[in-house]
Amino acid sequence: MLTILFDGIAYGMLLFILACGLTITLGLMNFINLAHGAFAMTGGYVTVVMMNRFGISFYWCLPAAFLASAILGGVLEATLYRRLYHASHLDQVIFSVGLVFMSVAAADYLMGGQQQLIQLPPELSGRTEFVGVGIGRYRLFTIVVCAILVVTFQLILAKTRFGSRLRAAVDDRRVAMGLGINVPAVFALTFAFGSGLAGLGGAMGAEILGLDPNFPLKFMIYFLIVVAVGGTSTVSGPFLAALLLGVADVAGKYHVPAIGPFVIYGLMIIMLILRPAGLFARGGR
Amino acid sequence: MSLPVQESVQTGAEEQHVDQSRAHRLMQRRTTVRSFEILIWLGALATVYLLPSKMLILTEIAILALFAVSLDLVLGFAGIVSLGHAAFFGLGAYTAGLFARYVTAEPVAGLLVAGAAAGLLGYATSFLILRGSDLTRLMTTLGIALMMAEAANQMAWLTGGADGLSGFSIDPIFGLVPFDLWGRNGFIYYLVVLFLSTLVARRLAFSPFGLSLKAIKSNPVRAALVGVPVRRRLITTYTVAAVMAGFAGALLTHTTSFVSPDVLAFHRSADVLLVLAIGGTGYLYGGIFGAIGFTLLKDALSVVTPQYWMFWIGLLLVILVLVGRARLTRWVDDLGERLPGLRGTNR
């Protein structure tokens, strides 16, 4: 029971790292980016290539995955995404589905369609008994890394100048621009950062979530659930939503494998009807 | 003394009359049968004789076109962005398959039953999409489609699970016209269904009902203030579209005599959205043009790169959006302006 809870938390942490870039894209620019999973997949493949072809240590692969996805995200933001901020939602959906299709086919072409495996360093594989609870070491590692990232992220948002600019821009874009905040630059940076986080999540998740060319399609709905349930106005909202989703998904798959997905999608739909602005949305709207 | 009064009454009536006829003319211009519409259907009919060897791909186009016209009702007219339209398509396909297996293999009965089943689901789920923003609707529709796909996968005793539903063959249409080997009779049957469905959609879209949908699409709150029953309109439209998508699914089952779980897959919802992206939304024929374009393109690409055609479709979509989809379909309006369409005689 506790093992499931633990695995669920690790899974949820991972989902949060993967999805929090999307939170910002949706919250700040009101852009429905279904291609967010493609950045995560990029990070995953960077790790696989570096580890399996060049034998580079797993620990070096993680920052590399972050950088690669962040650069990709930054470039795409500057060249493509930026033009579509004011397009209709339908256009954004079509555009990002097109990107997903391209990324899926490109990954298939470059890496082949099979599931990619990575060999974790020995100190991260296996299980440890801790107070009678079996704990996967890699899951523990995931939780620790993700927790550090979440705290850092929250501190950046709450304490730094950049963070307050970002929050101002999320709250009211026009007023923020009127105050002299360079909203497009803030957004470009944040987009790249979010893509990088997704890449990092993809790299760490290669072991837990699996990695194949269909990754962006398979996890699209999960990212969307995290954002829609958590709302886009806080960091803690999506974080709690991701944890909930992770635990519910792992527990559902373990206890009631036949109806697990129904529980999640059903809960999502009910939630969306009752609280369209997100479970943890601030009052008002 | 009485003369001026009479006069003023008369002019008032005349003004009213003029107003009425203006509204009337406006409606008539919308319902006018345009020449290109007749050309499309004549062309479709002509392919039966001109391209007898291409019946299979034409069948594919007809089914996709019906599916796309149905989504256009929801998307182009009611303005609901749906990522889960395959739910209705898949339910139609499975219903038609089960009906053929357990009740009767007569296709028209199967078609109607499948349409009814999809319509019921559409009616039931329409209440979920009444509220919320584009994102909420997108996710609700996507969630419903995913649940349907999962249900089909889990209920293996009924649907065959991942292996698909087989073990039935389709009888001749009305017990008279058999499906031949080249798919010619089948294609004519699909064309008739497509034609009738489009006719219904057309009647719906270019009527006062359609105008009220247009109002809802541009601003639901104002539409409600003017007195448009927003909820009822959306529910009706969604249900009708679901029935049509169910028809399309049933037609697919009748073509292949097999239902694979693929009918409910996400890519089917995405594909049909792409069809409308190519053909354009909101003028009803976008689905048909888009289906032709999409299927031919997919066919050509899968000959060149069997495995990676998805990449080029994706690239096309990205470019399409960046260039601006509206430019692609502007010619339809231009055409309508330039060519005086044929007058509808019956209204």
Q: How far apart are CA A274 and CA A278, in angstroms?
A: 9
* Stated pTM of the model: 0.83
Q: Is residue B241 part of a domain?
A: yes
Q: Which domains are seen in chain A, by residue range?
A: 2-274 (1.10.3470)
3-state secondary structure of B261: helix
Could you tell me the CA-to-CA distances from B267 to A214, B261, B262 in Å, in that order? 11, 12, 9
Query: Is B121 near chain A, with CB under 8 Å?
Result: no
What pLDDT is recorded for position A279? 63
A87 neighbourhood in chain B, CB within 8 Å: 321
H runs (alpha helix) in B32-133: 35-50, 55-72, 86-102, 107-126
CA B319, A216, A10 angle in degrees (round to 5)? Answer: 150
CA closest to B145 among chain A residues: A265
Q: Which residue has the tokens 């993809």?
A: A202
Chain A nearest C-alpha distance from B317 (Å): 5
Q: At what angle do helices A2-29 and A215-230 cross, to 10 degrees?
A: 80
Residues of A in contact with B264 (CB under 8 A): none
Nearest residue in chain B measured CA to CA from A260:
B150
Mean pLDDT split into 10-residue runs, chain A, 285 residues: 80 86 76 87 88 80 88 88 82 88 87 76 70 74 86 85 84 84 85 89 82 83 82 77 84 75 78 70 45
Q: Can you say how many angstroms the Cα of residue B302 is from the centroid of all Cα atoms in its chain?
A: 25
Q: Which of residues 27-56 of B touch A (CB under 8 A)?
A: none
Map residue B173 onto helix, strand or coil. Answer: strand
Residues B317, A97: C-beta atoms closer than 8 Å: yes
Which residues are within 8 A (CB) of A219 and not within 5 positions of it... i.e. 6 or more apart? A18, A37, A40, A209
> CA A247, A249, A253 angle in degrees (round to 5)?
120
Asked if residue B121 belongs to a domain, the reply is yes
Asked whether residue B10 is domain-assigned, the answer is: no
CA separation for the pair A279, A281 (Å, rounded):
6
For B:59-118, CB contacts with A below 8 A are 75, 81, 83
Which of helix, strand or coil describes residue B23? helix
Å between B91 CA and nearest CA of chain A = 17
At B180, list the tokens.
């031949």
pLDDT at A132: 63
| B81 vs A contacts (CB less than 8 Å) | 89-90, 93
Cβ contact, residue pair B142, A100, below 8 Å: no
Nearest-angstrom CA–CA distance, B226 and B220 = 10
Beta bridge partners of B316: none
For testing contact with chain A, the best of B129, B294, B317, B329 (most A CBs within 10 A)? B317
CA dist list (Å): B194 to B6, B66, B116, B250, B251: 55, 6, 17, 12, 10
DSSP A261: H
pLDDT at B333: 56
> Do the chains contact at B131 and A273, CB–CB below 8 Å?
yes
Pair of tokens at residue B282? 């909101």
Question: Residue A129 forms beta bridges with which residues?
Answer: A134
Q: A127-130 and A133-136 as β-strands: parallel, antiparallel, unpaired? A: antiparallel
The total domain count for chain B is: 1
Residue A274: Cβ within 10 Å count:
9
pLDDT for B64: 93
Residue B131 is encoded by which pair of tokens? 């509220």
Q: How far is Cα B175 from Cα B170, in angstroms, rounded to an integer? A: 10
Please check whether residue B201 lies inside any domain of the structure: yes
Q: Name the 3-class secondary structure at A135.
A: strand
Rounded CA separation A188/A181 (Å): 13
Domain-embedded: residue B209: yes
* First-to-final CA distance of chain A: 39
Helix ranges (DSSP H) in chain A: 2-29, 36-54, 58-79, 89-111, 137-159, 161-171, 173-178, 183-208, 215-230, 236-255, 260-274
CA distance A168 to A175: 8
A273, B140: Cβ pair inside 8 Å? yes
Boundaries of domain holding B88: 56-266
Q: Examine residue B134 and state whether it is found in any structural domain, yes or no.
A: yes
Residue A130 has a pLDDT of 65
A26 reaches B (C-beta below 8 A): yes
Q: Mapping DSSP to helix (H, G, I), strand (E, B) and coil, where does residue A128 land?
A: strand
Q: Count the Cβ atoms, other than its own, within 10 Å of residue B210.
A: 23
User: Which residues does chain B have within 8 Å of residue A106's beta carbon, measured at their own beta carbons?
Assistant: 311
Predicted pLDDT at B347: 31
> What tokens does B334 get?
């231009």
Q: What is the ipTM of this complex?
A: 0.79
A window 208-247, beta carbon within 8 A of B: 217, 221, 224-225, 228
**How many C-beta neighbours within 10 Å does residue A87 have?**
17
Nearest residue, CB atoms, B140 vs list A84, A102, A272: A272
Tell me which chain B residue has its CA closest to the CA of residue A82: B322
Examine residue B46 and state whether it is found in any structural domain, yes or no.
no
d(CA A204, CA B114): 45
Give kind and range of the element (H or E) at residue A127.
Answer: strand A127-130
- Residue B120's pLDDT is 93
pLDDT along chain B (347 residues), means of 10: 47 58 72 77 82 82 92 88 90 91 84 92 88 79 87 81 77 72 78 90 86 85 86 91 93 86 86 86 85 88 80 85 68 52 37
Q: Classify residue B283: in a domain, yes or no.
A: no
DSSP code string of A172-208: -HHHHHHTT--HHHHHHHHHHHHHHHHHHHHHHHHHH
List the end-to-end C-alpha distance of chain B, in Å, as a whole number: 42
